[in-house]
Chains A and B, each alone.
Chain A
Amino acid sequence: SQKIEQNSEALNIQEGKTATLTCNYTNYSPAYLQWYRQDPGRGPVFLLLIRENEKEKRKERLKVTFDTTLKQSLFHITASQPADSATYLCALHRDDKIIFGKGTRLHILP
């Protein structure tokens, strides 16, 4: 069956360092992958999209990589700030199918 794993339930990173979150998948061939941010009591907010034929995408302090051979996406936040603390979700898309990971709770420690 199709499966997505996000590296850990929670991740603590010191302010100013780079936070790296992992999204691994099996038994799936996504056309593209998205990363979302979710704050407590709110719906997810779209951050970045990367297509199957792209290796890397950047947006301000965010960087996403996509390795279809390893079936893995990495999500990086550089120069992390306490305001970056949230849960981050990856989502895989192909045709009408959308599959979300459980998310990783990121805590940026001041």
Chain B
Amino acid sequence: ETGVTQTPRHLVMGMTNKKSLKCEQHLGHNAMYWYKQSAKKPLELMFVYNFKEQTENNSVPSRFSPECPNSSHLFLHLHTLQPEDSALYLCASSRSPGTSEENEQFFGPGTRLTVL
């Protein structure tokens, strides 16, 4: 496979469940990102990892827990979510974050999450 892949594509979970979203990039990039996209709202950056180290956490609630075991894989662990957390969760990768002027983001197809 090429590019950025995400699994599952759709997820329905109850508020007491624990689930994980997975992202994998086959582009040799060093930076990976989690975004949340809700209807009528801008894409919100949640977490940034650069060379497996978390460099950004935009005040995301602790019920979202990221994990980056290596520069090709990124997980988002979910527990005790709320209905307002229902959204499209997008993973992206880039060569590196920061001031690189050609820092194009490559996005995966997203996971459509519904919390009941």
Contact = CB atoms under 8 A, between A and B. Distances in A.
A28 interface: no
The binding surface of chain A is classed by DSSP as: strand
Interface string A1-23: 00010000000000000000000
Interface residues of B, number: 25
B55 interface: yes
Interface string A67-90: 000000000000000000000010
Given A44-B107, A96-B48, A49 B42 contact: no
A46 B55 contact: no
Given A93-B103, A96-B98, A43 B42 contact: no
B45 interface: yes
Interface size class of A (residues with CB under 8 A): 20 to 34
Contacts of A89: 43
The binding surface of chain B is classed by DSSP as: loop
Interface in B69-116: 90, 92, 97-99, 101-110
Given A43-B4, A43-B92, A49-B102, A98 B45 contact: yes
A21 B90 CA distance: 24
Interface of B: 4, 40-45, 48, 55-56, 90, 92, 97-99, 101-110
